[in-house]
Amino acid sequence: MGPENDDGRGGEGMSADASIACLRCGTIMTSMGIEQFRTGGTSGGWKLLFGEWAEVGEDMLPLAVSACGHCGYVELRRPEAPATST
pTM metric for this prediction: 0.57
Burial class (CB in 10 A: 0-12, 13-18, 19+), 21: middle
Please give the average pLDDT of every successive group of 10 residues along the chain, which has 86 residues: 40 53 94 89 67 72 94 91 60
The whole-number pLDDT of residue 65 equals 95
pLDDT reported for residue 77: 92
